[in-house]
Structure 1
Amino acid sequence: MTDVVRLDAVSKVYGKGQGAVAALREVSVGIPRGSFTAVMGPSGSGKSTFLHCAAGLDVPSSGSVRLGGTELSGMDETALTELRRRRVGFVFQAFNLIPALTVEENITLPLRLAGTRADRAWLDEVVSRVGLRGRTGHRPAQLSGGQQQRVAIARALVTRPEVVFGDEPTGALDTMTARDVLTLLREIVDGTGQTVVMVTHDPVAASYADAVLFLADGRIVDSMAAPTSEKVAERMTRLGAWV
C-alpha cells in the first residue's frame, strides 16, 4: 500500500523564546492508503497538532507533509483551503451542521462551496452507507446525536476525499451510539477503500482501527497493529514519563 499522507521530521513550536512550546518533535510517519489509523496519547501529547498538520489545517515549524503527491509546505492559505475542500474530509466531536439546512443540503455543502455539483449516484451511495435513507429532507434538530454525526461523516465523504480526519468523532456520543458510528467508519474503510485517521482518547474506539499510533510529549513513541481495547488501554498507562 502506498502512503496517502506522509510526515517527515515534522515539528511544531508555538510561541517564541522562553515561552516556546514544542507540540510536535521530529515526527516521521506514513499513513497507508485504505487504512484506518487511530492516534492516541495523554492530554497535551500533540494529538490534535498532529492531525492539524497532517490535514493542512496548520503549518509545521519544520519538516515536510505530503498528501498524495502534493507537498503542503510552501502552499499559501488559499491553496491549502482549496486542497482541504477537494481532497480532505473532516469529522469533529461537534457535528458542525447548519440548522437551517436539510440533511442533504448539509451533506452537499462542501460541493456547493467548491462550485461543483453532486454526483447523484455517489450521493445516494453515501446516504445509504451512513444509514440516512429517508432522512435527507430532515433538519438537524429532528435527528438524534448519532444521526447528526452520520450526516457529518456523509459530508466528509461526499467529495471523495483522499483521507478523512476525525478529531474525537465519538466524543459527544453515548457508548452504544459511539459503537454504531465506529462500526460505520470501519465499514467505510473496508467497503470503499477510504483512508481514515482518527484522534481518540478511548481504547474501545481505537480497537476499530487497523493500527494505533501512540504520541507522548510530541513524539510517536510506539505503534500497534491489530489493536484490542485491552492492549491499547494497557499501553496507554505507560506513556509519557513512564515510557
Structure 2
Amino acid sequence: MTTPVTTSQEYAVQLDSVAKTYGTGDGAVTALRGVTLRLRRGRFTAVMGPSGSGKSTFLHCAAGLDRPTSGTVRLGDVDLGRLKETALTELRRSRIGFIFQAYNLVPSLSALDNITLPLRFGGQQADRAWLHEVIGRVGLAQHLDRKPSQLSGGQQQRVAIARALITRPEVVFADEPTGALDTRTGAQVLTLLRDLVESIGQTVVMVTHDPVAASHAHSVIFLADGRVVDEVARPTPDLVATRMTTLGDW
C-alpha cells in the first residue's frame, strides 16, 4: 500500500522546527523549541498549556505577527519567512482573520464599519452577499448602526468575529476569545465558532486556558516548555483539565 502524499491543500498552517528566542546572552529566553505541527483545513484546533508554555508565541509565529528565530512557517503554500514586511502585512490582512480577548474595535465606528474595516484598509469593496451572510451568521442584523459602547461584550465579540471573517480568510486565529465574557455568553461565542467550522469549512486556531472553551474544538494541542507534548481528539472538559494537571510530567 502506498503512503498518501500530503499537500499544502490539506493543511492551512504548517510549522517545521520552529524556535523562538527573545534576547541574547544570559538574558535570552526561549519560548518555542523546535515545534513541528500541521493544522488541517476546516478544523477547529485549540492550543493549551501552562503559563510560560509558549502559547502566545506560537500564535504570533503561526499567524505571521512575529518571525521565528529558526524554522519555517507556511500559510498554505506560502513560506512566511520569505516575505518582506509589506507583503507579510498584506497577507495578514487578506488571508488571516484575528479575534482577540479585548475585541479591539474602533470606538468611533459603527458595528458595520468595524466589520468592513479590513476591506477598507485594503482598498476593497464589500461583497454584499458575503457581508449579508456574515452578519446573519453572527446575529448582528439589528445592531449594525450601534457603536461598541452601545453593545454588550458578547455583541462586541460577534462584531470582532464578523470582522475576522469578512475577507474570507484561510485561517482565523483566536486569542482567548471568551476571556472577557461571562460563562453563558462565552459558550454562545464558542458555539458560533464551531458552527462556522462545520457549516462553511472555516479553519479556526484558538489559544485558551479554559478546558471548557477547549472542549468546543475538534482537537486540543498541548504545549509545555515551548514544545508540543500531546494532542487530544474529541476533547471533553474533564479530559482536558486532567491532561493539563499532568503536563509537568511530560
Tell me if both proteins adopt one fold, taking TM over 0.5 as the criterion.
Answer: yes
Rounded Cα–Cα distance in structure 1 between residues aligned with 2:173 and 2:36 = 18
Rounded Cα–Cα distance in structure 2 between residues aligned with 1:12 and 1:93 = 23
Rounded Cα–Cα distance in structure 2 between residues aligned with 1:97 and 1:21 = 32
1:74 aligns with 2:82: yes
Secondary structure of 1:73's counterpart equals helix
**1:90 matched to which residue of 2?**
98
How far did residue 74 of structure 1 move?
Answer: 2.5
Rounded Cα–Cα distance in structure 2 between residues aligned with 1:27 and 1:54 = 11
Q: Provide the TM-score with structure 2 as the length reference.
A: 0.96
1:204 aligns with 2:217: no
Rounded Cα–Cα distance in structure 2 between residues aligned with 1:62 and 1:74 = 12
Identity %: 67
Deviations 1:44-82 (A, max 9, x none): 000000000000000000001000110011212111101
1:180 aligns with 2:188: yes
**1:163 matched to which residue of 2?**
171
Of the three residues 3, 8, 13, the one matched with 2:21 is 13
Rounded Cα–Cα distance in structure 2 between residues aligned with 1:78 and 1:58 = 14
**1:119 matched to which residue of 2?**
127
How far did residue 221 of structure 1 move?
Answer: 0.3
How far did residue 141 of structure 1 move?
Answer: 1.0
Q: Provide the TM-score with structure 1 as the length reference.
A: 0.98
Rounded Cα–Cα distance in structure 1 between residues aligned with 2:174 and 2:222 = 16
Rounded Cα–Cα distance in structure 1 between residues aligned with 2:30 and 2:84 = 23
Number of residues paired by the alignment? 242
Rounded Cα–Cα distance in structure 2 between residues aligned with 1:167 and 1:34 = 18
Which stretches in structure 1 are left out of the alignment for 5+ residues? Answer: none
How far did residue 99 of structure 1 move?
Answer: 1.1
Q: Give the 4+ runs in structure 1 shifted more than 2 A.
A: none
**2:118 matched to which residue of 1?**
110
**1:147 matched to which residue of 2?**
155
How far did residue 108 of structure 1 move?
Answer: 0.1
Rounded Cα–Cα distance in structure 2 between residues aligned with 1:105 and 1:45 = 37
Secondary structure of 2:134's counterpart equals helix
Rounded Cα–Cα distance in structure 2 between residues aligned with 1:5 and 1:19 = 31
Which stretches in structure 2 are left out of the alignment for 5+ residues? Answer: 1-8
1:62 aligns with 2:67: no
Rounded Cα–Cα distance in structure 1 between residues aligned with 2:104 and 2:75 = 25
Letter in 2 for 1:100: S
How far did residue 113 of structure 1 move?
Answer: 0.2
